[in-house]
Amino acid sequence: MPKVRLAQYLRIIPELLVYELVSKAALFGLVFLIKKLMMWAVLKSGHVAVTSGDFLFIFKSPFGWLVIVSSIVLLGIYVAFDINVIVNYAGEKVCGRPTVLWRIIFESLTEATRFFTPGGLLVLLFAVLITPVIGVGMSISLTSGLYVPNFVASVIESTPLYNVLYTIFEILMVITIFFGMFTIPGMIIDHISPMRAFWRSIKLVVKNFKKIILQFLLFNLKFLALAAIFLFSGSFLSIILTVFNLGNDNSALRLGTISLVFFLGVIYTALTFIYFPLITINVIQLYQSFKDEVREDEKQDDGTVFSMMLIVVVICYVLGWGVSYWISENLDWLFVSTYTTNIVCHRGGGFEGGENTIPGIQTAINHKCFGVEIDIQRTKDGYYVLNHDNSFARVAGVGKSSDMMDLAEIKKLELINEPGTTIPTIEEVLDVTHDNITLFIELKGKTADKQMCEDMVKLLKERHMEDECVLISLKYELIEYIEDKYPEMQTGYLTFLSLGNTADLKCDYIGLEEESVNRNVIESVHEAGTKLLVWTPNSYESQNSFIMSEADGIITDNITQAEEIVEKLENRDNIEMMFDSIGQILG
């Protein structure tokens, strides 16, 4: 088994960074061209975007099929550059052969076709979908942010059976990924079939289980040592200025604080950038070693390696101080001190009150939230009641849907999460919210159709509440219908996956799942004259990030925490503001 030496990783980092930067630049160029082609095809099909609530049209048009074919090509390109290039590079490096970048890229592109065979599709499924969600194993940057949507995760967490099944699924997937760790190296380096590579991987892992665990432990300890060296060398003077505030000079304290956050952020980003390539090289070393095909590394003078790295650190340190000084002289331009992100309470009361209940909605009003979001479905006799799921099983213990019961039957149900109360009608809700809070009415479930749109528009107009309510839905055709027929109504489209000019969709609000929102998305939505809602950030870090952003609102269950964050942001001192703002910039 090859020894893990810190010097061997220091020696390879400069070349590795060049390979990563050049390959990522080539990836960016190819992806840019493919996405332009896909966007052209989407527009030619008569749409501005493909979203989770409006995608079936791509199967009905030749241009839609061009989108599908382009997506497959795009997926292959990502596999080639994010997985194949680093595996090929590691294989050449470990075997002591010359690492010629253009040849590695060409081979990686041709070998991407191996993932589009019956067995390869299973490997691709793990790399593209399962690995990013689980957070273990090789994946591609295209789907690195993939996650279980919050509205699905909340159902899993609140249902014991689903929670247990999902936990079992995660454990099984982690075991499969661990025992299949040599599958992709076998496919790419030895050119064997995916299934044969998988079974070989299982045999190698079982035979060398203890060695693999020890090797990974040693590698991570060495990497942590490497990280500590960079972090300490880059931040030593900043820590001295910040902690001890030499000379009690406020400008020195400010510069020290900014430089500390800057260095920590940049070094952390660099370390995360090289971790996956280095761990991949480590896996290839193990793979070759276990096959008795590994060659001894050529010895190099470790003193020379450390001298070169010291020079690089000093140069980066000097440049970092220059950047930190520029930031400290442009605080007013860089840092945001006022925030306009509104808080919208999810499903009535969120965590603070009963879901989709009058007391829950009253809780949101008492907290002075900007808005409250509810879900409506139609009863068998044509009334509209509040309910999120396909049945009342979770909230009232009855496994029937709203369209299977009339209003009188539904009113007899007692809510589990708010004992002593009944399921409210939309009219009862409007009585409470009128002149008190903005109401976001989600047209929900299988009864969400054009008739529901017509009934809601009529009801809101009768009560003169058009400006107090926003009709929202996951079904884009309903939002488009309202926009075309009743442009005076406020609408919102909710989506968690999109491709194309999402900002150009017909609606007043676009609601995006938190993982799909970034600074560029917010800017593009605002440039189109549309407002952006983020749903459903509940963690402290997520709420803090989006409240500090230029998003127009967050739909959240945790309104008390959001209020505390707003209060904290409004009462920060200059040092705290710098930490937050620089963190936002680096993030």
Q: What is the DSSP string of 478-504?
A: HHHHHHHH-TTS-EEEEES-EEE-GGG
- The predicted pLDDT at position 300 comes to 42
Q: How far apart are CA 85 and CA 81, in angstroms?
A: 5
Q: Provide the Cα torsion 410, 415, 420, 426; round to 10°.
A: -60
Query: What pTM does this model have?
Result: 0.76
Please state the φ and ψ torsions of residue 196, each to the nearest 5 degrees. -65, -40
Q: For residues 2 and 285, is the Cβ–Cβ distance under 8 A?
A: yes
Q: How far apart are CA 93 and CA 101, in angstroms?
A: 12
Please state, in angstroms and rounded to a whole number, the distance separating the CA atoms of residues 71 and 90: 28
**Domain regions of the chain by residue span:** 6-116+208-328, 342-586
| Maximal CA-CA distance, the chain | 85
DSSP bridge pairs for 472: 442, 492
- Which helix (H) or strand (E) segment holds residue 177: the answer is helix 160-179
**Tokens read off for 517:** 């929102």
Beta strand 509-513 with 498-500 is unpaired
Q: What is the pLDDT along the chain (587 residues), one digit of tens a residue?
A: 455 455 566 667 777 778 878 888 999 999 999 988 988 998 888 888 888 888 888 888 899 889 889 998 999 999 999 999 989 988 888 877 888 888 898 999 988 988 988 889 999 999 988 998 888 888 888 888 777 777 677 778 777 888 899 999 999 999 999 999 999 999 998 888 999 999 999 999 999 999 999 988 988 888 888 788 877 777 777 777 666 655 555 677 777 777 777 777 778 887 888 888 888 888 988 898 887 543 344 344 444 545 655 676 677 777 777 777 777 776 666 555 566 789 999 999 888 888 999 999 999 999 999 999 999 999 999 999 999 999 999 899 999 999 999 999 999 998 888 888 999 999 999 999 999 999 999 999 999 999 999 999 999 999 999 999 999 999 999 999 999 999 999 999 999 878 788 888 999 999 998 888 888 889 999 999 999 999 889 988 889 889 988 899 999 999 999 999 988 887 776 556 666 665 555 45
CA distances from 496 to 128, 511, 532 (A): 17, 8, 13
Between the CA of residue 157 and those of 131, 299, 345, what are the distances in Å? 21, 53, 19
Distances in Å between the Cα of 466 and the Cα atoms of 368, 450, 471 are 20, 18, 10
For 448, the 3-state DSSP assignment is: coil
Q: Residue 55: what residue type?
A: F
Which residues, in sequence order, are CB contacts of 314 under 8 Å at separation 6+?
Answer: none
Tokens of 323: 């950047």
**CATH, domain 342-586, list 3.20.20.190, 3.90.930.12, 3.60.70.12, 3.30.70.1400:** 3.20.20.190
